[in-house]
């Protein structure tokens, strides 16, 4: 074991002096596994965060709807290490979820990244703040399903999120019925824009949000994950 600041024995001469003729090893640089996707000033980019465990057609459908209705250049799927508001004990490994999401995306306008793990953040607000500060000139929009609108007031610094980027809420079968009466929808009611003005959202100064109808998908990663866990229990006799 070498003490901090000590010179390794391999670089000392037999008499104990430093062997300066031997070149020192260059510091090892570890390349990040995930990076912020390519971008440019003036681009309109949707941010779609989630565990994507598993990714499903509703994720793709919501993204394609947002690309069309908001006239976005790109949508970034931000595969989170874990949702602080949910039980993450049964989550598949991050690399596996990223690979599955990339296989599903099938559209060059959708970028999948696990950059949240790389920059060491757990909460959406910290992710958004990082991306806004590191991607100057990009017009970001936060995309989420109507089910998340219902619980959005429980997110850390949810008001700060709304003050930092515009938000697009995508219709979901079931949750849409009560999302309009949620704490967030009431608190931000005067900042909601008409759906026929959705294309203007990326260029608007936040807070601003829109509700996009048309998807109506019942698919849920949480429900699909529960089915997967149930199947594992049956296969292992109740043990996972």
pLDDT band at 147 (very low <50, low <70, confident <90, very high): confident
pLDDT at 21 over 60: no
**Residue range 198-240, pLDDT digits in tens:** 999 999 999 999 999 987 555 444 444 443 444 444 555 555 5
Q: Residue 155: which residues within 8 A CB-CB, separation 6 or more?
A: 85, 123, 124, 125, 161
Mean pLDDT estimate for the chain: 82
Q: What is the C-alpha radius of gyration for the chain, rounded to an integer number of angstroms? A: 23
Which one of 3.20.20.70, 3.20.20.80, 3.40.50.620, 3.40.50.300 gives the CATH number of domain 44-235? 3.40.50.620
What does the angle CA 37 – CA 191 – CA 189 come to, to the nearest 5 degrees? Answer: 120
CA distances from 197 to 149, 166, 200, 239 (A): 20, 13, 6, 52
Q: Residue 239: which residues within 8 A CB-CB, separation 6 or more?
A: 233
Evaluate the CA torsion angle 28, 33, 36, 40 in order and state its sign.
positive
Q: Residue 129: which residues within 8 A CB-CB, separation 6 or more?
A: 164
pTM of the full predicted structure?
A: 0.78
**Residue range 174-202, pLDDT digits in tens:** 656 678 789 999 999 999 999 999 999 99
User: Which residue spans within the chain are E strands per DSSP?
Assistant: 44-50, 74-79, 110-113, 139-145, 167-172, 209-217
């Amino acid at each position: 074991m070498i003490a901090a600041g000590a010179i390794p024995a391999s670089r000392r001469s037999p008499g104990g002096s430093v062997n300066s003729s031997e070149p020192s090893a260059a510091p090892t640089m570890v390349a990040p596994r995930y990076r912020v996707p390519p971008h440019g000033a003036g681009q309109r980019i949707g941010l779609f965060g989630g565990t994507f465990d598993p990714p499903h057609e509703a994720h793709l459908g919501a993204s394609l709807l947002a690309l069309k209705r908001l006239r976005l250049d790109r949508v970034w799927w931000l595969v989170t290490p874990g949702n602080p508001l949910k039980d993450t004990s049964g989550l598949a490994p991050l690399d596996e979820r990223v690979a599955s999401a990339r296989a599903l995306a099938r559209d060059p306008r959708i970028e999948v990244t696990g950059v949240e793990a790389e920059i060491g953040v757990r909460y959406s607000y910290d992710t958004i703040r990082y991306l806004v500060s590191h991607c100057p000139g990009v017009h970001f929009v936060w995309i989420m399903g109507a089910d998340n609108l219902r619980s959005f007031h429980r997110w850390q610094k949810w008001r700060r999120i709304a003050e930092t980027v515009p938000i697009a809420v995508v219709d979901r079968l079931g949750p849409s019925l009560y999302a309009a009466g949620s704490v967030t929808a009431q608190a931000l009611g005067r900042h909601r824009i008409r759906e026929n003005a959705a294309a203007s959202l990326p260029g608007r100064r936040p807070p601003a949000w829109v509700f996009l109808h048309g998807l109506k998908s019942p698919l849920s990663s949480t429900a699909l994950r529960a089915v997967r866990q149930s199947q594992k229990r049956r296969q292992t006799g109740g043990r996972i």
